[in-house]
Amino acid sequence: MIKLNKLTKVYRTDEIESTALNEVTFDIQQGEFVSIMGPSGCGKSTLLNILGMLDKPESGSYEFLGNEVGHLNEKGRSDVRKKNIGFIFQNFNLIDELTVFENIELPLLYNKINASERKQQVNALMEKIGIAHRANHFPQQLSGGQQQRVAVARALITKPPLILADEPTGNLDSSHGNEVMELMCELHEAGTTIVMVTHSSHDASYSGRIINLLDGQIVSEKQNKLAQAAV
């Protein structure tokens, strides 16, 4: 599904150049659940943003479903993203002016799902993820953990084939964190490909493969046989 070859990203400000990703190469097969781990600042979010086509690399290639992403224009990338990718942002990126219901509904609107279907799907997911009682609240009226759950629901609502999750349990207590991870496992078992950035080795233990980044480079990779056996 994903093929990266020598992907490099350099951030430039007036005087400083910093290499956030340095020749990162790996493949992710359809249906895999992969964790990306590493210390703060090692390039995890940069990598996920490029996978989500929200940012562009300096050099190297990124093939998604057999197509070179670098050859797509802005609209092409946006179309591929809306159709295939659910993104859970580290900082949520919820829309302050929209209610919880409306935030979760948005991707269904983009995909032109009719109103009654939208209502039914959003209500069912809000119920499942324990946020239904906040349907008409705005993001600023929610705790960090509740905002995180809305962000997760918004990424899952269209059942995209690829979920990219940037520290999806980072703002949750352990019981809500485990609920999010159980949801991830359910999606994975249903065939969704998941790439998750995490600090937590507990969360990573749910995934089938762990990629360790350090200073923008892959330093090690290991299969997680226990998680694979569980699927």
Near ligand ADP by CB under 6 A, which window of 25-33, 40-48, 75-83, 223-231?
A: 40-48
196 belongs to the binding site for ligand ADP (CB under 6 A): no
**Of 1-30, which residues contact ligand ADP (CB under 6 A)?**
11, 18, 20
153 binds, among Mg ion, ligand ADP, none (CB under 5 to 8 A by kind): none
41 belongs to the binding site for ligand ADP (CB under 6 A): yes
Minimum distance, C-beta of residue 90 to Mg ion, in the bound complex (Å)? 5
Two structure tokens written together for 19: 């290499």
45 belongs to the binding site for ligand ADP (CB under 6 A): yes
- Alpha-carbon distance of 6 to 119, in angstroms, equals 43
Near Mg ion by CB under 5 A, which window of 20-28, 37-45, 71-79, 199-207?
A: 37-45
Minimum distance, C-beta of residue 36 to ligand ADP, in the bound complex (Å)? 9
Q: Considering all CA atoms of the chain, what is the largest pairwise distance in Å, rounded to the nearest integer?
A: 54
Interface ranges with ligand ADP (CB under 6 A): 11, 18, 20, 38, 40-46
